Every structure is written in structure tokens, then in C-alpha cells.
């Protein structure tokens, strides 16, 4: 369970691209976005990766809307080539037309003029492929891309906000931080989150497990997750405690109570308990 008493702002992350599905590249975009969102106090409910395929994108968007999330963030598939299909998929999912957006076209025009002046491209002409990046689902608002060409896109569909970002990590990060993060912060329900990590040595996970279950039942507002591992043939259990509440003091108090009980349990089994920084691996 995950903070059952809190109505957090919920997100789905959708990645579009065969290069992920073929195992060519790691989906670092989703991890980066999830870390950002979690640290802001939001919560990611699903990550979905589909191929460069309109019907698959439609499926991912519609399932996300159906699940009632507040935000959908897509990455990938915004470029000029024929297999950049994200906006086509989003438009189809929302039953909206793709229409030329003047503001997006202006952004592209400036971008290609700059590249032309620098001698990077032979012509600043807005070819059909370049104009394609300014064709947004009706109602879409372009988000400025300071690093690459394709603008991001922001849409509203009922209570759900849909953000489309490019797949190139530097572009995704730039648009997210400049254009999306401020909007998310404004939309967040106010939640304080406290996290602490402990390491337990000398007790097997299956010995500790029933005790942890009782601890969880008694502390439904604290997320207690055990991460077992073996180190030199010995059982080491990392325990992650997360608590979130609308007041910081409440969140802290809840986690302190669990930490106290934990100390007693570990003492009972003659194990070792130490506070650690977190799970970096």
C-alpha cells in the first residue's frame, strides 16, 4: 500500500519508441521524471512504453485517462520524421484534429533561421516535415524547446492534463524544468513527505517478515518496504520508511513511531540496526 489516506496528485508516464522496446537503450527519461515528480510530492502510478505506432499510443493514452490520473506525460515521437507519431496518437485518442499552431510554427521558424545563420542547415525553409512539428491536437499549447527543434505540447482533457515531451533527454529535461514543473507545482495537493532508511543485519527476511506485517497493520500511514539482499553469504535487509501527511510534523511523528518499534523488534532477535542514507544501487 502507498499512503492510503492521501489524495496525492497522480501521474502516468508514457514512453514512445521502438528503441526502448528493442532493448537498445535504457528508459532513463521515465526514471528522471519519476524522481522529479516523487520529490515534488506527486506519485507515478504507471509507466508504459509502446512502439512508434498510432494505435498503441491511443491505447496508452486512453487507458491512462480511464484510470483517472491527473497528469499524463509522454516522451518521444515528436520529431519531423514519418515515424514520430505521438501527436497523431494523442489526437486520435482524444478524438481531436491535428491543426497548425501559429505559436509553434513561429518557434520552429526562429529555430531554423538560427540554425541556417550558423551554417548548420542549407536552408531555413519550413518544409512539410518541419511544419509537421507545429501540427498540434486542437487545443494544444506549444512548450518552448530551448535545446532542440520540436516544441513540447500541453493539453487539457477534462480534469487530465497531457504533456508531450521529446525523447532526447536534454530536450525533455529542459522543457520539463522550464515549462512543466511550475504548472505541476501549482496543481499539487499539498503533501509533506518524510523518508528514512535502515539496515538490519543478522536477521533473515523471512524471520523479520511477520513482525513487519504487524508493524504495517498498526501503522497504515507509513509505507514500510523491505529490500533484502545477500552480502558475503549473510542476509542484509534494507528497510525504507516513507510517511506523508498534510502536516510535516504529523509525517515525522508517524515515521518516528515506526522507527522506535523497529528498534525493539531488532533487539528482540539480537540483530543489528543502523540508520543509512538510502538505497543508491
Question: Least distance in Å: CB of 48 to a copy of itself?
Answer: 5
Shortest distance (Å) from residue 82 CB to a copy of itself: 5
Nearer to a copy of itself by Cβ, of 116 and 157: the residue is 116
Q: At closest approach, how far in Å is the CB of 10 from a copy of itself?
A: 11
Q: Which is nearer to a copy of itself, 45 or 257 (CB)?
A: 45
If the CB atoms of residues 139 and 265 are measured against a copy of itself, the closer one turns out to be: 265
Closest to a copy of itself by CB, 96 vs 216, is 216
d(CA 244, CA 255): 9
Cα–Cα distance between 90 and 84 in angstroms, integer?
12
* Beta strands per DSSP E along 3-134: 10-16, 43-50, 71-75, 98-100
Quick check: 137 and 153 in contact, CB under 8 A? yes
Q: Which is nearer to a copy of itself, 67 or 246 (CB)?
A: 67
Q: Bridge partners of 115?
A: none
Task: Tell me, rounded to whole angstroms, the distance of Cα 61 from its chain centroid.
Answer: 15
Pair 144, 178: CB distance under 8 Å:
yes
Q: Which residues pair with residue 10 across a beta bridge?
A: 43
Q: Nearest 5°: phi and psi at 193?
A: -125, 130
Least separation in angstroms between residue 129's CB and a copy of itself is 4
Q: Where are any strands of DSSP class E within the chain?
A: 10-16, 43-50, 71-75, 98-100, 135-137, 141-143, 152-157, 160-165, 192-201, 222-231, 234-245, 272-276
Per-residue cell: 101:
499552431
The CB-of-139 to a copy of itself minimum distance in angstroms stands at 26
Complex with a copy of itself: residue 34 or 188, whichever CB lies closer: 34
Closer to a copy of itself by CB, 5 or 139: give it. 5
Pair type for strands 98-100 and 272-276: unpaired
Amino acid at each position: 500500500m502507498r499512503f492510503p489516506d492521501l489524495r496525492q496528485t497522480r501521474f502516468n508516464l508514457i514512453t514512445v519508441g521502438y528503441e526502448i522496446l528493442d532493448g537498445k537503450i535504457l528508459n532513463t527519461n521515465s526514471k528522471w521524471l519519476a524522481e522529479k515528480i516523487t520529490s515534488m510530492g506527486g506519485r507515478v502510478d504507471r509507466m508504459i512504453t509502446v512502439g512508434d505506432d498510432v494505435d498503441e499510443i491511443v491505447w496508452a493514452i486512453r487507458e491512462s485517462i480511464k484510470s483517472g490520473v491527473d497528469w499524463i506525460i509522454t516522451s518521444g515521437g515528436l520529431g519531423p520524421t514519418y515515424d514520430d507519431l505521438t501527436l497523431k496518437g494523442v489526437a486520435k485518442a482524444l478524438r481531436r484534429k491535428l491543426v497548425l499552431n501559429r505559436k509553434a510554427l513561429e518557434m520552429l521558424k526562429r529555430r531554423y533561421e538560427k540554425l541556417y545563420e550558423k551554417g548548420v542547415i542549407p536552408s531555413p525553409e519550413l518544409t512539410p516535415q518541419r511544419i509537421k512539428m507545429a501540427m498540434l491536437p486542437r487545443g494544444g499549447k506549444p512548450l518552448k524547446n530551448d535545446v532542440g527543434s520540436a516544441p513540447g505540447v500541453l493539453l487539457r482533457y477534462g480534469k487530465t492534463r497531457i504533456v508531450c515531451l521529446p525523447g532526447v533527454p536534454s530536450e525533455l529535461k529542459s522543457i520539463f524544468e522550464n515549462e512543466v514543473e511550475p504548472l505541476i507545482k501549482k496543481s499539487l495537493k499539498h503533501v509533506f513527505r518524510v523518508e528514512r532508511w535502515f539496515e538490519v543485519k543478522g536477521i533473515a527476511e523471512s524471520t523479520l517478515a511477520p513482525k513487519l506485517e504487524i508493524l504495517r497493520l498498526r501503522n497504515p500511514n507509513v509505507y514500510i518496504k523491505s529490500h533484502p539482499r545477500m552480502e558475503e553469504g549473510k542476509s542484509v535487509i534494507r528497510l525504507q520508511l516513507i510517511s506523508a501527511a498534510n502536516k510535516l510534523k504529523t509525517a515525522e511523528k508517524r515515521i518516528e513511531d515506526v522507527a522506535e518499534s523497529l528498534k525493539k523488534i531488532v533487539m528482540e532477535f539480537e540483530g543489528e540496526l543502523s540508520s543509512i542514507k538510502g538505497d543508491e544501487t
